Homo-oligomer: A and B are copies of this chain.
Amino acid sequence: MRGVAAHILSLLVRQGSTMAVAESLTGGLIGATMTVPMGASAAFRGGVVAYATDLKASLLDVPSGLLDREGAVHPDVAAAMAAGVRAVTKSDYGLAVTGVAGPDPQDGKPVGTVHIAVCGPGDRLWHRDLSLTGDREKIRRETCEEALGLLRGVLEANLGEHSG
């Protein structure tokens, strides 16, 4: 995954943009991966690990009503986390993940349910919703891979727009 992280950092630097992460089930794995390459500080600002549901509201401004109604594992929660971390860290892109790593279901959602969101300039949103299989470690690792893959795709598309 460090290859993808380095690629994302170079795309961000080329665009003069920055990013931050909001993580739930991965607990910090995406941020740890993004900071493996040297020089990560040129584009990676940091983020929030909102593992407990109430921290999604208090640290990332996810609406409490949404969390009460849908639980923590929902596409709208991922979107709100991405927008929230973008705002609180004053970054150009926010990347967020929420889901169920297992071994037990959460908020009525089966193990492997994962929602990923990117929030970019102009509050534009991109989504990816997954049903992963395997154990806790595999689900967390694949969530990290898919999240970085989504952000890379967004940045590559934007680069195309900007140079077009």
Contact = CB atoms under 8 A, between A and B. Distances in A.
Given A21-B28, A30-B28, A88-B59, A46 B41 contact: no
Given A27-B35, A28-B23, A89 B59 contact: yes
Interface stretch (A47-55, A115-123, A155-163): A47-55
Contacts of A89: 52, 55, 59
A34 B25 CA distance: 11
A126 to B, nearest CB: 21
A29 interface: yes
Looking at chain A's contact residues, the main secondary structure is: mixed
Interface string A46-83: 11111110010011000000000000000000000000
A36 interface: yes
Interface residues of A, number: 38
A44 B27 contact: yes
Nearest to A56: B46
Given A21-B49, A36-B136, 17 more contacts: A23-B28, A27-B35, A27-B40, A28-B33, A28-B34, A28-B47, A31-B51, A35-B51, A38-B103, A45-B51, A45-B52, A46-B49, A46-B50, A46-B52, A48-B48, A48-B49, A58-B88
Interface of A: 21, 23, 25-36, 38, 40-41, 44-52, 55, 58-59, 88-90, 101-103, 136-137, 140
